[in-house]
Copies of this chain bind each other. A is one copy, B any other.
Amino acid sequence: MDDASALPHATSPKHQQIVRAAEALFLAHGYGAVSMDAVARQAGVSKATLYAHFVSKDGLFASIVADKGQDNPVVESLFPDTVADLRAALREIGQRLLRFMLRDRTLSILRIAIAESARFPELGVAFYANGPQKFRDRFRAWLDTLAAQGLVETPDTLTATYQFMALLRSDMFLRAGLGLPPPPGEAEIDATVTNAVETWLRAYAARA
């Protein structure tokens, strides 16, 4: 997003101050509610300096949000080639994914992406590609290896993947996205994962 030939280098201390401040403010309050004055104040620089590093508010916002969602719960060790206990493996994956989806940071990015999807269509695309799509592809590939080993039975591992993710979200993801109190507790998360895994296994576990 930056023009490296004209704009200061991204490793400059003030640049990083600006990025940190903008990230915190945009994620917390959204695009419209954050002014460039507020970003400059929080970053401890003048507005002119801010505009020396980023061409516009749009540009600043886009460069901030474009780099988000890079972290995700896809850890290779979660998807072992050989599985002794399918139920336990699914629970571990489910716990990891659901807790990631319910993190404040994840929900903040989701809210921004949904709220500004009309003004910045690429936001929705980036969020989906970096988050759900990345997990979906990795999980589906894992299911394919399990299917080849006869551990799961389905002609459609893509649908099985979508359903696993949907069962995990249950209604907690919607409720958390809407900011409904109370926030999900440990017990509720554990129970949702267990229920999701049991229902999914009834549909897709090999009938021995």
A180 CB contact (under 8 Å) in B32, B119, B124, B136? B124
Interface of A is mostly: helix
Nearest-Cβ distance from residue A158 to partner chain B, whole angstroms: 10
The answer, yes or no, to whether A127 is at the interface (CB within 8 Å) is: yes
CB contact list, A1-37 vs B, under 8 A: 28-33
Nearest-Cβ distance from residue A69 to partner chain B, whole angstroms: 12
Nearest-Cβ distance from residue A132 to partner chain B, whole angstroms: 6
**Chain A residues bordering chain B, tally (CB within 8 A):** 47
Contact A114 B111 (CB under 8 A): yes
Task: With CB as the reference atom, state the residue of chain B lying closest to A120.
Answer: B179
CB contact list, A119-144 vs B, under 8 A: 119, 121, 123-125, 127-128, 132, 136
15 CB-based A-B contacts, threshold 8 Å: A28-B118, A33-B119, A110-B114, A111-B115, A115-B116, A117-B178, A128-B180, A132-B171, A136-B171, A159-B195, A163-B170, A163-B199, A166-B167, A198-B203, A199-B200
